[in-house]
Amino acid sequence: MDEEKKNTILIVDDEITNLNLLIHALRNTYTLFVAKSGPAAIEMAKNHLPDLILLDIVMGEMDGYEVLRSLRDIEITQSIPVIFISGMNSQEDEEKGLALGVADYISKPFSPNIVKLRVRNQIRMINYLREIEHLSMTDALTGLSNRRSFNATLQREWGRAVRENESISMIILDIDMFKNFNDTYGHQHGDAALKIVAKVIVGTIKRPADFVARWGGEEFTVLLPSTDMDGAMVLAEEIRAAVEKIEIPHDDGFITRATISAGVSHLMPNKNSAVDKFISDADRALYSAKGQGRNRVVSAVDAM
């Protein structure tokens, strides 16, 4: 792993000697954060979201068991794996930690090599699980997020919009006459068209918070947090115009083009609002765009 992508570890111990030994063993391989008390560790975990926490059990102000319970009660830290550092080696102590969900133990006095190996094993597992999760949320053809990832992002942004009384908008886009395109030019060129359109959509959105996904087949979605209907319509039209200009090359030098239709929905949701209706409004607007001749953008309001 290169310097810019080092895994991060939070080391928590109130003994300076132990901290220095752990830092010396791990500093060349990982990015390290250090806390000398339980409360400081909890704050640092929330602020930095480390990949792994090395946590001493016996500390003066707040012991490791209390820290671990607190971390498990906080949504953003509850899944961070924790390795206990302990001089308590009884079966009862080990059972107590395992019952709280501790990932592993490092016994005091510890060997630097054992520390490195136990940490390495945990980090490998973390990275492996993250890669599996990434693949499960990614469309293999276009490299965009897939529908599962979109749904997870929508739930998160929907909740934030409700809490903060913010607008949220959504665009559903569909490549026009895509079945005919596939039948005429073959699925290989159809795949090329999907990848090119995906690239154009990503290149047109302007904000890091805007989220693009492949909805399925020839459909794409764009989620626009903190965006009203006018802003969503402007962006949808920009995407439509950009796709209309692209050229899709074929192996024999022949060039084809594609167009898209788009439906746009908008809402300032509250706790009684329905996510399904928000999606179906955009879908209904898309089919209205298709019915009006394709290669156009229609809002959910106009579709009614």
The rounded distance, in Å, linking the Cα atoms of 265 and 281 is 6
The tokens for 83 are 């390795």
Write out the DSSP string of 78-126.
TTS-EEEEES---HHHHHHHHHTT--EEEESSPPHHHHHHHHHHHHHHH
109: Cβ contacts below 8 Å, ≥ 6 apart: 87
Q: Which of 43, 95, 131, 218 is catalytic?
A: 218
218 is catalytic: yes
Q: Distance of CA 138 to CAs 147, 151, 203, 214, Å?
A: 9, 12, 18, 9
Q: Report the Cα–Cα distance between both ends of the chain, in Å, rounded.
A: 53
In this structure, the number of other CB atoms found within 10 A of the CB of residue 217 comes to 11
Chain center to CA of 163 = 20
User: Measuring CA to CA, which residue among 288, 283, 167 is closest to residue 229?
Assistant: 167
The rounded distance, in Å, linking the Cα atoms of 25 and 175 is 55
The rounded distance, in Å, linking the Cα atoms of 107 and 112 is 11
Q: Distance of CA 273 to CAs 21, 222, 227, 278, 284, Å?
A: 54, 20, 17, 8, 18
H or E segment at 53?
strand 52-56
Catalytic residues: 218
